[in-house]
Amino acid sequence: MTTTLKPIAMPTAGSPAGLLEAGTDFLSLRTLSRDGLRDLVELSLLAKAEPSRFSKALSGTSVALLFEKASLRTRAAFEVGINRLGGHSVYFDHNAGRLGERESVSDYAKNLERWFGLIVARTYRHATIEKLADASSVPVINALSDASHPCQALADTLTLVEHLGGFDALRGQKVAFVGDGNNVCVSFARAMALCGCETVVIAPEGYGIEDDIQAEIRAAANANGGVFESGADVSLVSGARAVYTDVWVSMGHEESVATRTRAFEPYRVDSSLMSHAADDALFLHCLPAKRGLEVTDEVIDAPGSVVFDQAENRMHTQNAVLLRQLGKA
């Protein structure tokens, strides 16, 4: 069985230098260069350290939150973060009715742009977010789609920067993703490629990142002094400074629980697997975690686990994106 993740069309947002500029969309890390990623990380660190500096940055600005999928971290981080920046958010629950069912995505976007300064969308299909961005005159943020989870990858990068000694210190560090080559995996690998890491994705046959997307990530890694490889052998985790995993069954794949559980059983991140990583290896997970499946309690609750740092950093990195898109920093 192969993953349903497909290549996405190259977005037009972002500047030629790969920076996130005012008025542009944030749909994927493919719009960013190494300098663009560094810029957002550095702004995140500043906003985290000196929140009062930006406490009125979004004053008078309203942000629409369109969510087709259940959420804890994404919703809380955006709502609290927007509030701390002095803005206002309105949550639209689309769990029962997907975007485009009641009225076209284009019409929806053209209504929202009259009241909101920015649209955040968490959807099943990446194409839905692309339609919103194409139709809307205000910036759009991808808060998760089947193809990409750029906000999570920003938080992952900030967390590693904080724990491994800075942005430039990530170059050459080995990081491993163990599990499904899903949207989280793809976005994390893209971020690590921009950082110049030695990145390895370890997945069962048929569940890895699509070959053409791997080629893009490998090219980005090579351009930034890094390396990207993939394989099915869990021994590839050897020496990794960070080990990342995610659930084996993402939202939308519930019908394949039994099949996926059998395929991923050897890829559980437990103390035995972690013993092959570096002695001081960090453990990452985007959450929610299915404890006892993709990760054991002894790993996720260990001192080297930074999963709740990642969760907190969702707010700080998303705030950085908001500030750049709205031209407030």
pLDDT digits (tens, 9 = 90+) for 198-234: 999 999 999 999 999 999 999 999 999 999 999 999 9
Over 60: is that where the pLDDT of 7 sits?
Answer: no
Q: Do residue 97 and residue 241 come from a single domain?
A: no
Alpha carbon of residue 120 to chain centroid: 14
Q: Do residue 58 and residue 161 come from a single domain?
A: no
Q: Do residue 276 and residue 156 come from a single domain?
A: yes
Q: Do residue 158 and residue 105 come from a single domain?
A: no
119, β-bridge pairs: 64, 140
Residues 246, 260, 285, 325: which is the catalytic one? 246
Q: Do residue 285 and residue 321 come from a single domain?
A: no
Q: Do residue 301 and residue 219 come from a single domain?
A: yes
Give the domain CATH number at 72.
Answer: 3.40.50.1370
Taking the C-alpha atoms of residue 214 and residue 195, their distance in angstroms, rounded to an integer, is: 16
Question: What confidence score (pLDDT) does residue 8 get?
Answer: 33
pLDDT digits (tens, 9 = 90+) for 105-148: 999 999 999 999 999 999 999 999 999 999 999 999 999 999 99
Confidence of residue 252 (pLDDT cuts 50, 70, 90): low
Q: Is residue 68 part of a domain?
A: yes
Residues 185, 195, 197, 286: which is the catalytic one? 286
Q: Do residue 303 and residue 218 come from a single domain?
A: yes
Clarify whether 163 is annotated catalytic: no
Clarify whether 286 is annotated catalytic: yes
Domain of residue 184: give its range.
151-310
Q: Is residue 10 part of a domain?
A: no
Residues 75, 122, 126, 260: which is the catalytic one? 122
Residues 84, 218, 314, 324: which is the catalytic one? 314
Q: Is residue 67 part of a domain?
A: yes
Indicate the residue type of 105: V
> Residue 232 is encoded by which pair of tokens?
């099915």
Q: Is residue 64 part of a domain?
A: yes
Q: Do residue 120 and residue 199 come from a single domain?
A: no
Clarify whether 151 is annotated catalytic: no
Q: Is residue 209 part of a domain?
A: yes
Q: Is residue 4 part of a domain?
A: no
The whole-model pTM stands at 0.94
Q: Do residue 123 and residue 43 come from a single domain?
A: yes
Q: Is residue 9 part of a domain?
A: no
The mean pLDDT value for 170-183 works out to: 98
Q: Do residue 186 and residue 261 come from a single domain?
A: yes
The mean pLDDT value for 40-68 works out to: 98
Residues 25, 30, 151, 152: which is the catalytic one? 152
Give the torsion sign (CA, 36, 38, 44, 46): negative
Clarify whether 246 is annotated catalytic: yes
Q: How many domains does the chain have?
A: 2
Residues of the chain with pLDDT > 90: what percent? 91
Q: Do residue 168 and residue 306 come from a single domain?
A: yes
Q: Is residue 242 part of a domain?
A: yes
Q: Do residue 157 and residue 223 come from a single domain?
A: yes
Over 70: is that where the pLDDT of 12 sits?
Answer: no
